Amino acid sequence: MDDALTLTQVTKRFGRTQVIDGIDLNVAPGELCVFVGPSGCGKSTLLRMIAGLEDVTAGQIAIGGRRVNELPPAQREIAMVFQSYALYPHLSVRDNMGLALRQASTPKAEVLTATDRAADMLSLTALLDRRPADLSGGQRQRVAIGRAIVRRPKLFLFDEPLSNLDAALRVATRIEIARLHRDLGATMIYVTHDQVEAMTLAHKIVVLRAGRVEQVGRPMDLYNDPDNRFVAGFIGSPAMNFLDAGALGLRSATLGVRPEHLAISADGGTVAGRVSHLERLGGETLSYVQTEVHGLLTVRQFGEHDHPVDGPVWVTPDLARAFHFDAEGRRLRT
Ligand SMILES: Nc1ncnc2c1ncn2[C@@H]1O[C@H](COP(=O)(O)OP(=O)(O)OP(=O)(O)O)[C@@H](O)[C@H]1O
C-alpha cells in the first residue's frame, strides 16, 4: 500500500534547542494514529514537519515509501485540519470545500461531485450556500474537514481540531471523525493533549514527552500495560495513584494503582487518611483521601457512596492489579 507514513530518526532543532529527538515511527495504511503528550512535548512540531511546514533538521520522513523531506507541502498529498478552521469568510461552504480542486484546475463537474459527496458524509448538504460566519463552531470545523476530504489526500493531519468546541460538541465531533475514518479508510495522524480523545479515537497512540517517544501502542495496551510511570500517569482519567512502595514494605520504588483498584473503608486497611473531598458524578463516586506518606489519593467507586468529609478512612490497594516502578520510573514486570 502506498499511504503509509514512516519516520526514521526524525530530529528537529530550533537553533540550539532540541525539540524532537530522533523519533522512529511506522503508521500503517488506513491507520488512525494519535500523538498525545503534555504541552510543549513537540506534537505540533512533529505534525508540521510531516506536513512540510517545518524543515527536518535530521532524519527522514517518507509518505507512501517516498522520501518527502525536500518536498513542499503542496506536493506531499496531505491535507491538514487545524484548530482554527482557516475558512475563507467571503466564500460559501461549497466554494470553501471545492477551492483546492478548483485551484488545481479540476473540471467543474468533478469538483461538484466531490463537494456534494463530502457534504453528504458530514451532514453539510443543507448548509452548502451559507458563509462561514453563519455557521456554528462545530459546523465550521466540519467544513474544514470536508475541505480536506475533497482533496483525497494520502494522509490526513489533524492538529487539535476539537479544542475550540465546547464539551458536548467535542464528543459529537470526535464520534464523527471516528465514523469518517471508518468510511474513508484513510491514514490519519491526529494531535491532541487530551488523553480521552486519544483513547477513544486511536488505533495507535504515540505518547510523547520532551521530544521523545515514551511508548507506542494500542489504547488499551497503554492503559493495561504501561512501560513507565509517565505513561501510566498520563493515560487514564482520573489519573493513576502513585504510592511510596518502600513505605508499604514492597521492594519497588513506586506502586501505581488506578483509582478503581483502591478500596476505601472506615474499618481498617493498609493506608490511613482523611477524606478531603468527594465528587459524586452520578454513575460513580470519587473520593480524595489525604494521606501522610502517599499524598492525595483518588478512589473511584461505582454508584453513589458517602464518606464524611474530614472523616478518618482506610485505603487498600489491590496489589494483584497494581504496577511497580523503579526509582527512574521504569516499569518493573515480574
Ligand atoms: N519556532 C520555534 N522556535 C523555538 N522554539 C520553538 C519554536 N516552535 C516551537 N518551539 C518549542 O518547541 C517545543 C515543542 O513545541 P510544540 O508546539 O511542538 O509542542 P506541543 O506538544 O504541540 O505543545 P502544545 O500542546 O502546547 O501545542 C516547545 O518547547 C516550544 O516552545
pLDDT in tens, 59-115: 999 999 999 999 999 899 999 988 877 899 999 999 999 998 998 889 999 999 999
Q: How far is the CA of 64 from the centre of ligand 1 (A)?
A: 27
User: Measured in whole angstroms, how far is the alpha carbon of residue 222 from the centre of its chain?
Assistant: 13
Closest CA relative to residue 187, chosen from 203, 174, 175, 163: 203
Average pLDDT over residues 219-226: 96
Report which secondary-structure segment, H or E, holds 321. Answer: none
- Residue 5 grid coordinates: 507514513
Phi–psi pair at 180, nearest 5 degrees: -60, -40
The span from the CA of 306 to the CA of 124, in Å, is 47
Helices (H), the chain: 43-51, 93-103, 108-121, 137-150, 167-184, 195-201, 219-224, 229-234
Residue 42 CA to ligand 1 center (angstroms) comes to 6
Mean pLDDT of the chain: 94
- Residue 9 pairs in a beta bridge with none
Whose CA is closest to 80, among 224, 191, 214, 201? 191
Whether the pLDDT of residue 12 is over 90: the answer is yes
Q: What pairs with residue 301 in β-bridges?
A: 285
Nearest to 299 by CA among 239, 247, 224: 239
Q: State the complex-level ipTM.
A: 0.95
For position 67, what pLDDT does the model report? 96
What pLDDT score was predicted for residue 2? 67
Query: Could you tell me the pTM of the whole model?
Result: 0.91
The DSSP annotation for 57-79 comes to SEEEEEETTEE-TTS-GGGS-EE
Mean pLDDT on 207-218: 97
3-state secondary structure at position 222: helix
The tens digit of pLDDT for each residue in 231-242 reads 999 999 999 999
* Residue 152 confidence (pLDDT): 86
Q: Which residue, by CA, sits nearest to atom 31 of ligand 1? A: 40
Residue 267's Cβ-side half-sphere holds a number of Cα atoms within 13 Å equal to 0
Q: Which amino acid is at 199?
A: M
Q: Which position has the grid cell 473511584?
A: 300
Distance 241 CA to ligand 1 centre (A): 29
User: What SS3 class is residue 176?
Assistant: helix
Helix, strand, coil percentages in the chain from 3-state DSSP, rounded to 5 = 30, 35, 35
Q: Which domains does the chain have, with CATH numbers?
A: 5-229 (3.40.50.300), 238-332 (2.40.50.140)
Contact 220, 207 (CB under 8 A): no
Please state which of the ranges 15-24, 58-67, 149-158, 215-224 shows the lowest mean pLDDT. 149-158
- Measured in Å, residue 19 CA sits from the centre of ligand 1 at 7
* % the chain with pLDDT above 70: 99
Q: Which atom of ligand 1 is nearest to the CA of 211?
A: 14
Cα–Cα distance list, 10 to 36, 57, 61, 140, 245 (Å): 17, 8, 7, 33, 37
Least trusted range by pLDDT, from 139-143, 157-161, 163-167, 179-183 = 163-167
C-alpha torsion sign, points 115, 118, 121, 122: negative
pLDDT grade, residue 45 (50/70/90)?
very high
Ligand 1 pocket check: which of 11, 12, 14, 190 to mutate, most ligand atoms within 8 Å of Cβ?
14
pLDDT band at residue 1 under the 50/70/90 scheme? very low
